[in-house]
Amino acid sequence: MPLLAQAREPGKVLILGDSISAAYGMNIEQGWVHLWAQSLQDRAQIINASISGETTAGGLARLPALLAQHQPDVVVIELGGNDGLRGYPLSQLKQNLTQLIKLSQAAGAKVALVPMQIPPNYGEAYTRRFYETFAQVAATQEATLTPFILEDVALSPDLMQNDGIHPTAAAQPILLAKLETTLNSILREASVSTP
């Protein structure tokens, strides 16, 4: 009986994202989140709470209930792209990302922050500062910053849907490959630190 009591539950990972993680334009089983869950098999339980069109403010409104319901060991925050596309103030982006991380950490979760980039037509200064905000917040809040998820697909028309914003089903394994090492590492850390 004591051996059974010591058996570890699979780690729980909450993905709080927008269309990039919600498999926009394809079946959810084709998306990078589902592919990651498959690769982990029974080593972790992945809860995908991503919604297409979600902003950091929307995620912030939903997060407390999600944390209470799922009690995740790891929270992956993939939000901000829609804030940038709508030209929201960077101070708001920074404040919301900070609160998302703080709430997750207060609930006992390790946090991975997925940085986003926006098209250059928003002006060089805003575009650069937008991207830098993610690294600044991650460093200040001691969260793990992942690589840019769209780095290897954003400039390849054959890997992007016709809108030029959303990656195709064929791009999903590439998205996962970009994040997998970092996410698996933080999942291992969370498993080790969980009593």
Gap between the Cα atoms of 153 and 15, Å rounded: 21
Beta strand 144-145 with 110-113: parallel, antiparallel or unpaired? parallel
Residue 167 structure tokens: 């990656």
Provide the 3-class DSSP secondary structure of residue 16. Answer: strand
β pairing state of 44-48 and 110-113:
unpaired
> Which residue, chain included where needed, has tokens 């982006």?
93
Q: Which pLDDT belongs to residue 93? A: 98
Q: Alpha helix locations (H) across the chain?
A: 2-6, 32-40, 56-70, 81-85, 90-106, 124-141, 172-193
pLDDT on residue 193: 62
Query: Quick one: pLDDT at residue 2?
Result: 42
User: In order along the chain (195 residues), what is the average pLDDT of each group of 10 residues?
Assistant: 49 97 96 97 93 98 98 98 94 98 98 93 90 98 97 93 94 97 94 63
Catalytic site residues?
19, 163, 166
Task: Enter the pTM of the model.
Answer: 0.93
Whole-number Å distance between alpha carbons of 126 and 89: 9
